[in-house]
Amino acid sequence: NAGVMQNPRHLVRRRGQEARLRCSPMKGHSHVYWYRQLPEEGLKFMVYLQKENIIDESGMPKERFSAEFPKEGPSILRIQQVVRGDSAAYFCASSPRTGTDGYTFGSGTRLTVV
C-alpha cells in the first residue's frame, strides 16, 4: 500500500513562473491537506480539501496560490508568478476520515525560486 505520493521531489522555478505541486493520497484516504515549511521554521497549515471541495483554506495566501482535488487524479497546489519567498518545502498529508487519526505525510516537494 503506497503512502502519500508527492511529485516532483524538487522543483526549481524562475521568478514569475508557475509552480504545480502534485499529491496523491494514500489508498482509501479522501481528505488531503497541504502544509508549507519555510527554512528553519515549523510546518504551517495551508488548505484542507476533499474530493472536488475546498473545506478550509484559511492558511492560503490570498493571492497567487490555489489548490484543487478533482474527482479523478491527484490534488494540485498551484503557485502563480512565484517569488523568492515562496521557496520552501511543501508537504501534503492525507487521512481516511475527519479528524487527526491516520494522518500521513508525503515526502514533500522542495521548491526553489531563483
Partner 1 sequence: RKEVEQDPGPFNVPEGATVAFNCTYSNSASQSFFWYRQDCRKEPKLLMSVYSSGNEDGRFTAQLNRASQYISLLIRDSKLSDSATYLCVVALPAGNMLTFGGGTRLMVKP
Are residues 13 and 114 in contact, defined by beta-carbon separation less than 8 angstroms?
yes
> Which phi-psi region, left, alpha or beta, contains residue 85 (left: φ > 0; alpha: ψ -120 to 50)?
alpha
Site string for partner 1, 73-92 (x = CB under 8 A): ----------------x-x-
User: Binding residue for partner 1 (CB under 8 A) from 29, 69, 79, 106?
Assistant: 106
Q: Does 44 interact with partner 1 (rule: CB under 8 A)?
A: yes
Q: Which of the ranges 17-25, 52-60, 65-73, 80-88 carries the binding residues for partner 1, by CB under 8 A?
A: 52-60
